[in-house]
Structure formats: structure tokens, C-alpha cells
Chains A and B, each alone.
Chain A
């Protein structure tokens, strides 16, 4: 079931002298099965946007539809929506509260009305999906490393078996290794179970490698909505929004400008290396 945002606006502090338009007339269709990246500078409205996807916030004007129904309707079951659209907040490990990891992961499915047994099965399944180490299932949350805590927290949302998984800056505060581990894991979730993933980030590098569609937010508006390759052709506009394009793309562009026959649309380091090799030696690798 697709999520549809129809001319959604969100205004904070509407009754004061300085109203803030966090979202300004945003219209999007988010069909199932895609791997989508939402990029924007701090304050561009991306975190506000994702809170509209599961009804934590309701638009001040415009509508959000899930399964053809307006989520602002009085009789719309928001809990049901939150089961289908799982939202992992920034620093999700700060929400862990149970005595051990396993109990915490069970919290979501239990709220969904599953029996103890079903909830535990779902929790087990989710922990396995995030590659959480077996021997730590019953460890206290405080004994875990930063990356492990984050996995546990993501499992807590995954255990509800959502159709959409929305992750708000899932790599914030992690070292490069931990970052790619988390992103690889998310990517695997998308490939293996066909889950729709919406990845919110301010880092082009993170997003470029994985997603098939990039939505660029700028001052509450959707600036671009296209494939990464297409979006990154707007290098200057992106730079003006404080975003910039991936390093490898930038270097390829600079080489191209110097008259070297490099493909300017490369996204990753490997692609860039291959393209430069081909341009310099005149043959494919």
C-alpha cells in the first residue's frame, strides 16, 4: 500500500510572531518496494517529514493517505498505521528501557497485540535480521557497544514487521565501520524481504551507494526527487543547499572539466576508479 502525501504543510508556532514553515506544500508518492533516500541540511524539514509518515504529526494543511485513507480521520487506527510504517528515530538506542535486549525488542510486537510466544518469535527474527550477536540477547542494554545498541533499537522496530521502514539518520554518531555495517544491513533487508526502506540522512556518500531514489529537501520543500545519478547532475544547486555531491562524483567532474574522458556520473569510489583507469589507459579493466 503506497503512502501518499498531498500538499502537506506543517507550521510551528503559528500563533506567534515568528511562525516556522517546517514543511511547505510537500507532495510525494512513496510506493512499496523502493529504497528511498531523503536528504537535506539540518533544519530542512526531513525529520518533520518522516513524523508525518506514521501519524506522529498531522499536517497543518494537506493530507497524508495510507492505503487510500486519510490518516487524520477520526476513526483511522494510528496504531495499525505504526505497525505498517516502522519509524526508527535518531539515536534510537536512547529509547531502550527494558532490563535486557530481548525484552526490549518484544515491546513493539506486544503492543501490537501479539501473544507472548508470537512476540518472542518476532523479536528473535528481528534480532537475527540485524545480525545481533547471539550471546548478547539477554545482556543488559548498558553492556552493549554503541553499534550493538543501535542494532537492538532497530530490531525493536523491525520486530513489528513493518512494510515501510523509515530510518532517521541511522548512522549518526557511529564510526565509519559501524556506519557501513548498519547501511549494509539495511540494504540487505531491502533486498531479501523487499521491505520499503526510507533512509533519512544529510550525507550524500551514505545515500548514493544504496538508494534507488533520492528526495532532496530544502527549507521545507522538495527540491529534487529522482534517481541519484540524475539528482547529482545538479551539483551547484545542491552545494547552495549546503549538501554537495559525493567526493568520487566531484573528482570525476573535475577531471572531466580538465578534458579527461572520465564518466562524470560515477557514484562510488569503485566506479570512479574504473572510469579513471579506462580513461587513462584507454581500455576497460
Chain B
């Protein structure tokens, strides 16, 4: 029942994308998202989509895993499209009753649709192809410069990796406790919202108790191994850039430059504008 939830799920397989240094993937996602907001014409989005699909193909993650992430924001997506479609002022395309759809509205709605879809798909590739531990390692090393501002990067990364590690454990625990209480006749499904919330007490109390117990055990185990904070800790598998990471950076930067250039190129902007003007005049 609870197992259906998939946050930051990792898809295990071996692919060039999986093997990349997490810092490349993190920076890549960041740049990809920024470029999405720089395009001014459809050619830019097309370039972005081609790049995204190529990365997905390379990652060997089935497409349905990536689109699964979209399900969660389907409502947000629909709302954005509908609101933009009806509320953008401009030249009317269709009018009925009190609603008007404008040419500009269609343009904005489509832009938003592509932006959001690609944004979510792009960021889910990172979590799908990187183990949580690798991801925190990447963040820790990538954000090391924040130390100048006295941000305890190592400790924060440790907390993050512990939190991530505990998600599946606590999910399993929830599942087990729910089953145990079901076996004692608990009922989580019937009744109104207040009754349903009350029915969760027999699950939440043992779950919290167990979380605290586990946290205590873990703290003791860490102290027994002389953990004393993040500074100066070495890694068993330190992150070192390899040749493939350099190649990936080159491809990444070429893509960014190319797609932004084409996405903002005056000639293409003019071409699409003329297309658009011709339809309005007609």
C-alpha cells in the first residue's frame, strides 16, 4: 500500500549517465533548467527536447519511469495551461460565452507546458540515475565553496544522506505497523476525515518511537566509530573527475551555448513572428 510512493527513486542499471560524476549531473540539470527560461522561440525548446531525449535514451531508464514524475504535478500543469490559455490578453482566436482564447494565450500556454514538463523530466533523470549517497557526495563537494560563509557543508551532507537512507526503512516500518494494527482490527479506510486521522494514531505513535530508537542507535554507532563532525573526513570512494566527465562538460556547455543562441537568434525570432503575424492578419 505505502510502497507505491516513489520520491527520488533510483533506477538501477548501468549506463554512461549513471557512471557520470554526480557534480556533472547536478550542474547539468541546473544549467538545463536555466536555459529553459532563456529561449525566446520554439527552435530553442526543440533543441532542449532533443538533448533531453538523447540523455534519456543514453540513461537506459524506461520512459515510463520518467513520466511517472509528471503524474504528481499533472494538476499544476493543467491549471497553468488553462489559466494562461484563457487569461492572456491579445488577439482573439476563439470566443465562446465569457471566455476568450487568444493567440498569445496559446503561445504562453504551450511555452509553460514545455518548460514545466522538461524541467520535471530533466530533474528526475538526476535522481533516477544517481544513488542518494552519490548525490549527497556530489552536493557536498560541489557546494564546498560555501564554507567561506561558515556553512557546515559536511554536516549538512551527512544529515541529508542519513535522512535519505531512512526513507525506505521508515516506509517499510510504516507498512509493517499498519499491517500489525490491521491484524488487530484497525480500520484505516472507512469514516470521515477526522475518524481517518484518529485511526492513524496507532500507526504514528509506534513509528515515532521506532524512529527515535533508530536515531539513538545510529548516533551511538557513529560515536563508537569516532564520528566527530564533517571536517577532515576522508571518503572510501572519493569523487574524482574522469575523462568522461570532461567530455560530458564539453557536450553540456556546447549544448547550452548552441541552444541559447538558436533559441534567441533574431532571424528565427523574426521568422516565427512573421508566421504569427500572417495568421493574425488573415
Interaction A to B: yes
Q: Could you list which residues of chain A lie within 8 angstroms of chain B, going by C-beta atoms?
A: 51, 54, 56, 79, 82-83, 86-89, 92, 94-97, 107-108, 111-112, 156-157, 160
Determine chain A's interface SS by DSSP, over half rule. Answer: helix
Name the distance in Å between B209's Cβ and chain A's nearest Cβ: 8
- The total of Cβ contacts below 8 Å across the A-B interface reads 53
Find chain A residues with CB under 8 A from B206 CB. Answer: 94-97
Q: Which residues of B contact A111 (CB under 8 A)?
A: 184-187
Q: Which of B177, B179, B182, B184 contacts A156 (CB 8 A)?
A: B184
B binding-site residues for A, Cβ under 8 Å? 176-177, 179-187, 201-202, 205-206, 209-210
Other contacts beyond A94-B206, A156-B184: 20, CB < 8 A: A51-B179, A79-B185, A79-B187, A82-B182, A83-B185, A87-B183, A89-B179, A89-B180, A94-B176, A95-B181, A95-B202, A107-B186, A108-B184, A108-B185, A111-B184, A111-B185, A111-B187, A157-B183, A160-B184, A160-B185
Alpha-carbon distance A160/B180, docked complex (angstroms): 14
CB contacts (< 8 Å) of A54 on chain B: these are: 183
- In angstroms, Cα B180 to Cα A88, docked, is 7
Q: What are some 20 contacts across the A-B interface (CB < 8 A)?
A: A51-B179, A56-B179, A56-B182, A79-B187, A82-B184, A83-B185, A86-B183, A87-B183, A89-B179, A89-B183, A94-B180, A94-B206, A95-B180, A95-B181, A97-B205, A107-B202, A111-B187, A112-B185, A157-B183, A160-B185
Alpha-carbon distance A208/B26, docked complex (angstroms) = 58
Hey, which chain A residues are within 8 Å of B180, CB to CB?
89, 92, 94-95
Could you say which of B176, B183, B202, B210 contacts A82, with CB atoms under 8 Å apart? B183
In the complex, the answer to whether B184 meets A157 with C-beta atoms within 8 Å is yes
- A107 / chain B contacts, CB cutoff of 8 Å: 181, 184, 186, 202
Shortest CB distance A275–B (Å): 42
What's the Cα separation between A56 and B182 when bound, in Å?
8
Q: How far is the CA of A97 from the CA of B185 in the complex (A)?
A: 15
Give the complex CA separation of A160 and B186 in angstroms.
Answer: 12
- Closest CB in chain B relative to A96 CB, distance in Å: 7
- Min Cβ gap B30→A in Å is 31
With A and B bound together, what is the CA distance between A86 and B184 in angstroms? 7
Q: Which residues of A contact B187 (CB under 8 A)?
A: 79, 111
The 3 closest A-B pairs by CB, nearest first: A111-B185, A97-B205, A95-B180
- Measured in the bound complex, the distance between the Cα atoms of B182 and A79 in whole Å is 8
Q: How far apart are the CA atoms of A51 and B206 in the complex, in Å?
A: 20
Q: Using Cβ atoms and an 8 Å threshold, which residues of chain A touch B202?
A: 95, 97, 107
Closest chain A residue to B204 by CB distance?
Answer: A97
Residues on the B chain within 8 Å of A79, using CB: 185, 187
What residue of chain B has the Cβ atom nearest to residue A86's Cβ? B183
CB distance from A193 to the nearest CB of B (A): 19
Q: How far is the CB of B128 from chain A (nearest CB, A)?
A: 14
CB distance from B199 to the nearest CB of A (A): 10
Least Cβ–Cβ distance between A213 and chain B, in angstroms:
23
Assembled-state Cα–Cα distance A127/B176 (Å) = 24
Q: When chains A and B are docked, how far (Å) is the Cα of A82 from the Cα of B177? A: 15
The contact of A56 among B183, B185, B201, by CB within 8 Å, is B183
CA–CA, A257 and B205, complex, Å: 56
B210 lies within 8 A of A94 (CB): yes
Q: How far is the CA of A54 from the CA of B185 in the complex (A)?
A: 11
State the Cβ distance, B261 to closest chain A Cβ, in Å: 41
Q: In the complex, which residue of chain A has the Cβ closest to the Cβ of B183?
A: A87
In the complex, A92→B183 CA distance in Å?
Answer: 11
Q: Give Cα distance in the complex from A266 to B187, angstroms.
A: 47
In the bound assembly, the distance between CA atoms of A87 and B183 in angstroms comes to: 6
Chain A positions within 8 Å of B183 at CB level: 54, 56, 82, 86-89, 157
Once the chains are docked, how many angstroms separate the CA of A240 from the CA of B202?
41
A107 to B187, CA, bound (A): 12
A30 to B209, alpha carbons, bound, how many Å?
Answer: 36
Q: Which of B176, B184, B201, B206 has the most CB of A within 10 A?
A: B184
- Alpha-carbon distance A79/B205, docked complex (angstroms): 22
Chain B residues, Cβ within 8 Å of A112: 185
In the bound assembly, the distance between CA atoms of A57 and B76 in angstroms comes to 35
